A = this chain, B = another copy of it.
Amino acid sequence: MNDRRTVFKTLRDLGIRLTPQRILILDILRKGNAHMGVEEVHAKARTRFPYIDIATVYRTLHLMKKIDVVTEVAIGERLHFELTHPDRKHHHMVCTCCGKAFNLAPEYLERFGEQIHRDFSFEPDVRNFTIKGKCSLCADKFEKSDSIL
């Protein structure tokens, strides 16, 4: 799975160097129990490694995303990331009203993706897929005071 050791091996096998910065960032994501913002990761990293630059955090997170070690989650406006757990994969439904995120079992999108592939031979990447919308609570609120703007 994506425990420390396995990830390190994955990186080595791909010729990606194991720098202290990268190890630190991965450890921070592992300890953070949910998706984290870039600034959040950077702040935590600085407490142990004061000279780490935000650019390094961005570069590392994007690299890890490319090799599927972390997953990008579209929460709010800014980028958020979390470690990819193959055994508890899930997608997200984010309420654009209150910002809360709900997990979604992977089958929903997988079935959907397979259908797209069958019909168009387009291979959708459902890994980083976030559904935006309104949660039931906010939908209720809206019905009463429904200002569109």
By a beta-carbon cutoff of 8 Å, the part of chain A in contact with chain B is 14, 66-67, 93, 95-96, 102, 104, 108, 112, 115-116, 120-125, 128, 131-136, 139, 148-149
Contact = CB atoms under 8 A, between A and B. Distances in A.
Contacts of A108: 112, 115-116
Contact of A116 (B93, B116, B121, B124): B93
A102 B122 contact: yes
B96 A125 contact: yes
Nearest to A96: B125
A131 B131 CA distance: 11
A75 to B, nearest CB: 15
A132 B124 contact: yes
A81 to B, nearest CB: 17
